[in-house]
Amino acid sequence: MPRMTTHAHPSSSSPAAAGSDICIVGDGAVGKTAALGLAQAGLKVTLLAPPTKAAPPDDVSWDVRVYALNHTAHRLLSSVRVWDAMDVERIAPVDNMTVQGDGLAEKAKPGLLSFDAYAARTDALAWIVEGRNLDQALDAALRFAPNVRVVQGRATALSVSAEAATLTLESGQSLAAALVVGADGANSWVRGQCDIGLDYRSYGQNAIVTNFSCELPHRGVAHQWFSPTEGIIALLPLPGNRVSLVWSAPVALAEQLMRLPLSELAGRLAQWAAPVLGQLTPLQPEVAKAFPLRLIKPHAMIAPRVALIGDAAHAVHPMAGHGMNLGFGDVDALIETLVKREPQYDCGDDRVLRRYGRARKEEVLLMQIATDGLHRLFSTEAEPVRLVRNLGMSLVNHLPVLKRRLIAHALGR
């Protein structure tokens, strides 16, 4: 756990004196959204962000890092008045989703599972949003947000007393608050300061992300293919005839693919993409990035006067596109828990934090089990398993009640 002091904090270090109920460590999209939402709920928030780099020039290229945001994320970002501040012309709704298993040569057809917004009685299954588009809207909102103080720096120590949690920065400055929120990613420094064990496993895959234009219209369809040897290939709709690639490939294959010109990478994708999207052409300027994939399961989302959100609290396989949505679900639950707390409890009270942990336990566990289980299922080349999984996908595709439940969960309802 964070180091417990043996004496009460002096008044100069109390949350009230510091002018902050909550200190959020990390300036990713989840952390910034939490700062806005908690401030709008009437709490005084300090956002600790790493020292800024020189502002990049205006960039009209398409960001290779995209998120498939569900209805929970949409509702939350709308409530903090960020959704409508994004460039709507760079957001693509997902009207339909198809998931295809691996073929069995001539023995059987690949498993197929499809979902569509019309059958789900909703305007969209999800929305594909560029990371840059979201970050710019969040940054603009923070510049004018009351009750939010942005501090640039890096924390070197975290101590906790009965009254407050205190962060010490490299500069020597101290930040005290009733609650510290760790929103600093999968390699969370905040989590590392706490007595929180974790389960860790590398998936032996890297996610390759880049963008292409497509010869045929995508019609708002997100495509995903499973292959035991090639990994998981997803092509997500972007505005116009453009798609975003997320290829979760075994590390050795991913390293080979990253050495290819993007025109050759497009050729490797043709076996899946050509029948539905035609020829793929790299968007200019050509950019591709790769990220290691791992399962990180902290044993708790809370510690004394500390709450974890986003990847600091859970890192899952991106096959379902719900890593960011889980983080926004954390933010939603944390705001609701703190707003509904009894007036005699401050934001870091253990009774309050336990409610937050309970509120998130089921959804996080279900997503971890689902993504990890699907990865294991589709990583095997054993033919009996391949037959069963493909038949299972096709069976689910013909069970409307089960499909509706799956869609409702994916939408965040």
Neighbour-count burial of 399, counting CB atoms closer than 10 A to its CB (0-12 exposed, 13-18 middle, 19+ buried) = exposed
Residues sharing a CB contact under 8 Å with residue 189, sequence separation 6 or more, in sequence order: 25, 155, 182
If one counts every other C-beta atom within 10 angstroms of the C-beta of residue 88, the result is 11
All structural domains of the chain: 3-56+133-199+294-372 (3.50.50.60), 90-127+203-292+380-411 (3.30.9.10)
Answer whether residue 119 shows pLDDT above 90.
Answer: no
- Long-range Cβ pairs for the range 402-408 (8 Å, 24+): 403/115, 403/119, 404/120, 406/115, 407/115, 407/119, 407/120, 407/125, 408/120
| Mean pLDDT to the nearest integer, 383-388 | 53
Give the range among 54-63, 117-126, 202-211 with minimum mean pLDDT. 54-63
* pLDDT over 70, % of the chain: 80
Residues 337 and 357: their CA atoms lie apart, in Å, by: 10
Integer angstrom CA distances of residue 93 from 68, 96, 146, 172: 9, 9, 32, 47
Answer whether residue 388 shows pLDDT above 60.
Answer: no
The overall average pLDDT reported for the chain is 85
pLDDT band at 11 (very low <50, low <70, confident <90, very high): very low
Predicted confidence (pLDDT) per residue in 170-209, tens digit:
999 999 999 999 999 999 999 999 989 999 989 899 999 9
Residues 127 and 375: their CA atoms lie apart, in Å, by: 24
- Residue 54 pLDDT: 57
Residues 61 and 58: their CA atoms lie apart, in Å, by: 9
Residues 147 and 196: their CA atoms lie apart, in Å, by: 30
Is the pTM for the entire model greater than 0.95? no
pLDDT band at 387 (very low <50, low <70, confident <90, very high): low
- Residue 403 pLDDT: 52
- Residue 351 pLDDT: 97
| Mean pLDDT to the nearest integer, 284-312 | 95
| Mean pLDDT to the nearest integer, 267-281 | 96
- Residue 412 pLDDT: 61
Closest among 165, 179, 181 to 32, alpha carbons compared: 181
Closest among 23, 29, 249 to 139, alpha carbons compared: 29
